[in-house]
Chain A
Amino acid sequence: MVTLHDLAAQLLLHSLTSALVVEALIRRLPIADPSTRVRYRTLVLVLPVLLLPLAWAFPERLSVASWHRMLFFSPAWDDVQIAGVGLRTAGLAVAAVLGLALFARDLGREVHVWRRDHDAVRLGPRAPLDDENIPRAARTMAERAGTPVPLIYLVDTPHPVLSCHGVWRPRIAISRSLAAMLTPPQLETAIAHEVAHIARRDVLTHWLLLGLRAVQWFNPIAHLIARRLGQELEWRADDDAVRMTGSAVPLVKALVASARARGAEFLGLLGRGRIHAVEERCRRLLNPRPDEPLPAGHYAWTSAALVGLLWFVV
């Protein structure tokens, strides 16, 4: 009898397989364009979730024999015991704990940002917009990106905050401290970055990603891929901002200034990772890698290969 436990294990295996193939493709081809990377990573997140319910359309797929033919499903995996627990059960338990920890951490951050945004919206209309540069930059960049001009909310916090929100009513929250810290060209390019997120509907993408992660909360691979995808959404917005403003240097300076101002937030266990992410963004902005064009139909080829691999091989 196929159990929920088995289904979770299969989803995990499918995630691992597709993540390995896509990572190999991104590195070997290589794929430098963040938009293409985002599409490939999305495939890794979506495909295992889509394939799982398909098994019910093919009852043979749910038979014990068919299940045992899949990788990591032979009973031998539970015959190897560590402290009385089968290797497969132990592996699944470790994956679930890791997955839950990663998801809980990111969800906590989401809640924190949502609350901060909520406060900004509440305080925003009353806060006088004394810096004319911000609405002017937002207007110019929105015109260049071909999107409606977003609402600007000022947040009264000492932390450097600049983020976009709202799926249907786009708005940009900016902290007074950051607005004071950045020079006009830096502020313009930072606003351009947020406008790029709005133009690409990244806020919606972000919530959809969170939903996909919630469905597979036990899957650490999905959470790591989603984090990577989040970084690549930032890269894509960076590239768009550079295209809109014509120079990468102010954006790099704005990123460094913002990272420096965060100080304490960048300390701790994940601080190194955050600093590394900022460094990586700056490096790729200053030394953009030429992107080799991919052949027509590359995405369809990859999708078909992954479906075949997941359905028939693993």
Chain B
Amino acid sequence: MVRQIRFIGILATSALLTAGGLRVADALPPWLLGTPRGFVVYDTLAEATRDLRTRLLVPAFFPSDLAWPPARIVRAPGEGRPSLVAFTDQRTGAERLLVAQCVDGDCEFPPELLAPLENAPVRRILSGGFEADLAVSTSSAWREVRGERLGRRVIVRFEGDETTLLRMARSLHREGS
């Protein structure tokens, strides 16, 4: 019996130490880069669809100065599967449109996925039947609408004018549908 307990103890310790050591090693690059572990990065919307088993919302109205396909598709860990689709400017390559959404309806967006918009007073708007909060940054050209679209909590953040932002937010649909 003592031999059995000793064996299981050594086996469990070896397995735990190995797993622990490898986990610490695995945590180093995300820690160095400041990106939390558990974020899933997809190469394409099709890959995200396959993995999430649902289509992500993207705007049907798409200004010609933005580049298609999305530059970044990320899913954060946590309840509600918070996800982000980012589009860049055709010319500069900088991100100009971010569509954050809760795949399962409601969720909190972690700041590593979508940092809060600073210095942005919020007002309630109703635009073409779409009721949402509009936040306009006073210190940058970014603005965002926060609301619910097709049963999902969404935040559409855009570096540009309000009319285009609202048109994009209203036109959100399941990609491919």
| Residues of A that sit less than 8 Å from B by CB | 1, 13, 16-17, 20-21, 24-25, 28-29, 63-65, 68-69, 71-72, 74-77, 79-80, 87, 292-296, 298, 301-302, 305-306, 309, 313-314
Contact = CB atoms under 8 A, between A and B. Distances in A.
A77 B32 CA distance: 10
Q: Contact residue range for chain B?
A: 35 or more
Contact of A302 (B11, B35, B48): B11
Contact of B26 (A71, A293, A296, A306): A71
B91 interface: no
Nearest to A301: B11
A306 B15 CA distance: 8
Contacts of B52: 65
Given A25-B14, A305-B15, A309-B19, A65 B29 contact: no
A273 B10 CA distance: 30
A52 to B, nearest CB: 18
Nearest to A22: B14
A293 B2 CA distance: 12
Interface string B1-25: 0011001101111110111011101
Interface in B19-72: 19, 21-23, 25-26, 29-30, 32-33, 35, 37-43, 47-48, 50-52
Q: Which 9 pairs across A and B sit closest by C-beta, in order of nearness? A: A24-B14, A76-B30, A295-B4, A76-B29, A71-B26, A75-B41, A20-B18, A64-B51, A68-B40
Given A24-B14, A28-B10, A305-B11, A64 B19 contact: no
A219 B35 CA distance: 29
A169 B52 CA distance: 57
A74 B37 contact: yes
Listed residue (B14, B22, B32, B48) with the most chain A CB atoms within 10 angstroms of its CB = B14
Contacts of A87: 29
B75 interface: yes
Contacts of B26: 71-72, 74
A25 B10 contact: yes
A17 B11 contact: no
Contacts of B37: 74, 76
A74 B29 contact: yes
Contact of A74 (B18, B30, B43): B30
